[in-house]
A and B are shown apart, each in its own frame.
Chain A
Amino acid sequence: MYQLSRGDKVFNGFNMILVGIFTLVILYPLLFVVFASLSDPRHIFDQVLLLWPRGFTLEGYKRVFANGDIWMGFKNAVIYTALGTAVNVIMTTLAAYPLSRRDFRGRNVITMLFTFTMFFSGGLIPTYIVNEGLGIVNTMWVMIIPGAVSVYNMIIMRTYFQQNIPVELEESAFIDGATDIQLLLKVVLPLSTPIIAVMMMFYGVGRWNGYFDAMIYLSDRNLFPLQLILREILVQNQMGDAANQAMMSVNQSEVSALKQSIKYAVVVVSSVPVLLFYPVVSKYFEKGIMIGAIKG
């Protein structure tokens, strides 16, 4: 299309190589995890580099898939992530849009109100009491409804609206007699697919990876999300008082060997769904560009 200048060609090549090196640095440890998940745990550390599964075995994966808890956790995590992310994105948009409007009265006060909660909270116990009062402790709703708006994400979204929705567009919509809600749905949101995609990823991954609320609020094992099940496999006994572990000595090695054999497989299994999610969402980045071009 264009005649690339020499400097631009150099720039392109240089950029591609730099990004390539960066990608390799990111990639190797990821491959390590994949290879390790297919290796005999005793041989993972045999040489400095694990370039291929050593002592190839599918034992880890067999065990993971034979574990009923993991499937159940998977199902729960999908439900919590889907519903939770929907609530998050809707609520965040509802908060971010009015606050992005420079003519919205009280926006500074409300922004302050939100920001304040990033720093000061009553802590675990009063929050637990609130949730208990609402009767959502140990139900799926405690994984979906609380924490609907992350202030950080809300501010990011607000900034995007401010930056990318031309005021003239809003004004002309008003001239056509549109209400704020119509404006949001018909003008703002179609122009904002990239940020909605980002929000879906942020919230979605946060929900998918989160374990703390589940750990505190859920006691019915049938409600556990995947990450809580995985945590039991990966972390339990790791942070305890070391001296007390001696009391667990009889056949401690059996438990440890069991964990070793599946821990890498568990990581792979739990990350794949999120990876599949990305290409779907990334399409919206492209759409944003097209719309941006039209609007310009």
Chain B
Amino acid sequence: MESSVRRKLSKWKGKAILKQKWLYLMMLLPLTSLIIWNYIPMYGIIISFKDYSPAFGIWHSPWVGFAHFERFFNAFYFKDVIVNTLRISLYSLAVGVPLPIILAVMFNELRNKRYKSIVQTISYIPNFISVVIIVGMVMFFTSPADGIINSAIEYFGGTPIDFIGSPKLFPHVFVWSGIWQSVGWGTLIYTAAMSGIPQDQYEAAYIEGASRLQCIRKITIPAIMPTIVICTILATGSVMSVGFEKVLLMQNDANLATSEVLSTYMYKAGILNAEYSFSSAVGFFNNLINFIVLYLVNKFAQKFSETSLW
């Protein structure tokens, strides 16, 4: 009996590839999809190095080498735009990565099932609201003339603050309104990960007299650690990307000094003037940096934790 199991096991390990034919078969469909919609169009990257015109098509447009990149690097606002982008995205990361984790743990600790489910549901709703409406509300709530926030400030004897018209405050307003919209939704992944924790682990810890905080530290957090690591790595891969539509809607001449980011700059300098190649070059540069950052962070993760992307 014992030996037959052994034999089967060793057979399974030995002829791995043949044995894994089903796994490869499973991969077939997703890989086909990847090839058709991601790798076949990949040749489009070359338009960053060409002067693309629809009249000639991608293949027959003339090559220009690194001209678009040079134009971008030499642009007057190049440095400001990069700094602004990094400021907002790093700030978003610093707040946006830990907060959903903390919130998910808090949700998880709620003992009243009904309360928990209501609270969780409410926290997801902002995610569904159009960014146009969000920006409209931000403007109304923060208005120095009659917004609720400034009315409160005045009530307590302060002077009204022009949140949306100040370059200093723009990153805060942008990031926190984003948190308002996405933090609840961000807890979903962690909630799912926590649902996999066997309840008896907590019970055992209780019997041994562990406090709730100790349970969180010793059981909950380690259990969701891989998810935390993966989400963090993935988040760092968008360090150069700051959503375009919301920035553009919140942008005005008064806060432009900090609100002009790569995507809005690209929109104004490239897309509005139909300079497809230029936009593409800026996007390429953008993602190259993103990829390098992700790669490095993943390397780091490989070294210091058990979880990594590959």
Direct contact of A and B (CB under 8 A): yes
Stretch at the interface among B62-70, B71-79, B111-119, B166-174: B111-119
CB distance from B307 to the nearest CB of A (A): 7
User: What residues of B have a CB within 8 angstroms of the CB of A116 in the complex?
Assistant: 291
Query: A122 with B43: in contact, given A29-B126, A111-B309, A285-B191 (CB under 8 Å)?
Result: yes
In the bound complex, do residue B212 and residue A25 qualify as a contact, i.e. CB atoms below 8 Å apart? no
User: What residues of A have a CB within 8 angstroms of the CB of B94 in the complex?
Assistant: none
User: What residues of A have a CB within 8 angstroms of the CB of B230 in the complex?
Assistant: 155-156, 159
**Count of A-B contacts with CB under 8 A?**
272
In the bound complex, do residue B132 and residue A238 qualify as a contact, i.e. CB atoms below 8 Å apart? yes
CB distance from A51 to the nearest CB of B (A): 11
* Shortest Cβ distance from A172 into B: residue: B5
User: What residues of A have a CB within 8 angstroms of the CB of B125 in the complex?
Assistant: 26, 30, 271, 275
Give Cα distance in the complex from A123 to B278, angstroms: 13
User: What residues of B have a CB within 8 angstroms of the CB of A292 in the complex?
Assistant: 195-199
User: What residues of A have a CB within 8 angstroms of the CB of B147 in the complex?
Assistant: 48
Query: A163 with B193: in contact, given A12-B111, A15-B109 (CB under 8 Å)?
Result: yes
Stretch at the interface among A71-79, A87-95, A248-256: A87-95
CB distance from B309 to the nearest CB of A (A): 6
Give Cα distance in the complex from A212 to B254, angstroms: 30
- Decide yes or no whether B256 CB sits under 8 A from chain A: no
In the bound complex, do residue B196 and residue A288 qualify as a contact, i.e. CB atoms below 8 Å apart? yes
In the bound complex, do residue B41 and residue A126 qualify as a contact, i.e. CB atoms below 8 Å apart? yes
Give Cα distance in the complex from A171 to B111, angstroms: 37
- Decide yes or no whether B56 CB sits under 8 A from chain A: no
Query: A123 with B43: in contact, given A205-B127, A292-B199 (CB under 8 Å)?
Result: no
* Shortest Cβ distance from A241 into B: residue: B272
- Decide yes or no whether B189 CB sits under 8 A from chain A: yes
Other-chain contact of B212, A8, A122, A235 (Cβ < 8 Å): A8
CB distance from B246 to the nearest CB of A (A): 12
User: What residues of B have a CB within 8 angstroms of the CB of A174 in the complex?
Assistant: 8-9, 12
Give Cα distance in the complex from A112 to B133, angstroms: 38
User: What residues of B have a CB within 8 angstroms of the CB of A107 in the complex?
Assistant: 310
In the bound complex, do residue B128 and residue A127 qualify as a contact, i.e. CB atoms below 8 Å apart? no
User: What residues of A have a CB within 8 angstroms of the CB of B115 in the complex?
Assistant: 16
User: What residues of B have a CB within 8 angstroms of the CB of A32 in the complex?
Assistant: 137
B8-28 Cβ-contact flags toward A at 8 Å (1 or 0):
110011001100101110110
Give Cα distance in the complex from A148 to B33, angstroms: 7
CB distance from B139 to the nearest CB of A (A): 10
* Shortest Cβ distance from B105 into A: residue: A15
Other-chain contact of A180, B13, B22, B120, B283 (Cβ < 8 Å): B22
CB distance from A152 to the nearest CB of B (A): 6
Other-chain contact of A149, B30, B45, B146, B283 (Cβ < 8 Å): B30
- Decide yes or no whether A246 CB sits under 8 A from chain B: no
Query: A111 with B310: in contact, given A26-B123, A285-B191 (CB under 8 Å)?
Result: yes
User: What residues of B have a CB within 8 angstroms of the CB of A286 in the complex?
Assistant: 195
Query: A121 with B41: in contact, given A19-B106, A149-B33 (CB under 8 Å)?
Result: yes
In the bound complex, do residue A97 and residue B126 qualify as a contact, i.e. CB atoms below 8 Å apart? no
Give Cα distance in the complex from A88 to B207, angstroms: 43
In the bound complex, do residue A15 and residue B33 qualify as a contact, i.e. CB atoms below 8 Å apart? no
- Decide yes or no whether A146 CB sits under 8 A from chain B: yes
Query: A16 with B39: in contact, given A26-B123, A95-B27 (CB under 8 Å)?
Result: no
- Decide yes or no whether B300 CB sits under 8 A from chain A: no
- Decide yes or no whether B82 CB sits under 8 A from chain A: no
User: What residues of A have a CB within 8 angstroms of the CB of B111 in the complex?
Assistant: 12
Q: Which residues 33-62 of B have a CB within 8 angstroms of A? A: 33-34, 36-45, 47, 52, 54, 58
User: What residues of B have a CB within 8 angstroms of the CB of A189 in the complex?
Assistant: none
Other-chain contact of A123, B8, B22, B283 (Cβ < 8 Å): B283
User: What residues of A have a CB within 8 angstroms of the CB of B310 in the complex?
Assistant: 107-108, 111-112, 115
Stretch at the interface among A59-67, A196-204, A216-224: A196-204
In the bound complex, do residue B231 and residue A19 qualify as a contact, i.e. CB atoms below 8 Å apart? no
- Decide yes or no whether A257 CB sits under 8 A from chain B: no
Give Cα distance in the complex from A23 to B278, angstroms: 44
User: What residues of A have a CB within 8 angstroms of the CB of B127 in the complex?
Assistant: 205
4 tightest A-B CB contacts, nearest first: A122-B44, A296-B198, A122-B41, A126-B44
A-B contact pairs, 5 of them (CB 8 A): A8-B212, A26-B122, A194-B192, A271-B129, A293-B199
Name 18 extra pairs, CB < 8 A, besides A104-B20, A126-B40: A11-B211, A12-B111, A23-B119, A23-B122, A25-B180, A97-B23, A107-B310, A114-B34, A120-B284, A121-B42, A121-B45, A123-B283, A130-B36, A159-B227, A175-B5, A179-B22, A238-B249, A295-B198
